[in-house]
Amino acid sequence: MTDVLVASSSWLITPNVGLTVWTLVVFAISLFILVKAVFPRIGAALDTRRKAIGDSIDAADRTHREADQLLVEYRELLRNARQEAEEIVERARQSAAVNEREARTEGQARREQMMEQTRRDIEAETRRALDEILRDVVELTVMATERVTRQVLTGEDQRRLVEEAVSELDFTVLSGGPSRQP
């Protein structure tokens, strides 16, 4: 049996020239068909794919650079906007401070004007009241004198009596000044 096994497996080991030639011919034909028909198509597909991948990488790089540039521009715009906002806020603060100072100054000036007007009004009213009191005193003095003396006084007598009465009256109490002591 060993002889059978050795004989049957020997055709695989021993070269057969006819089989080898036909194998080489089929291999050459297959290689020729592959080189002429299949490899150019595979190469073209690989070149197309390589080009598409390269274009995609270039587009991605370009997009990445554009995105970086836009990010830089955005950050610059954002920084400028923040700076402008801070300037606006600062100008508003300064304007508010100026308006406040002006309002205070204007209010103080208006208050002083009102106080001065009130003082003038009080002085005028005091003078009017003193004049009215003086007239009333004169009339009362003339009437009292006429009743006491039972005679009508001349203009000279009336003037003298009025001057004496007025000199004895203390009008400083009415005007808020220090009073005279007799």
Residue 11 has pLDDT above 70, yes or no: no
What is the structure's pLDDT at 1?
47
pLDDT value of position 40: 92
Is residue 121 within 8 Å of residue 105, measured between CB atoms?
no
pLDDT at site 114 = 92
* pLDDT > 70 fraction of the chain, expressed in percent and rounded: 82
Could you tell me the pLDDT band of residue 178, with boundaries at 50, 70 and 90? low
Give mean pLDDT, residues 50-68. 94
What average pLDDT does this structure show over 21-36? 94
pTM of the model: 0.40
Most trustworthy range by pLDDT among 75-79, 134-138, 176-180: 75-79
Tell me which of 178 and 151 has the higher pLDDT: 151
Question: For the chain, what is the mean pLDDT?
Answer: 83
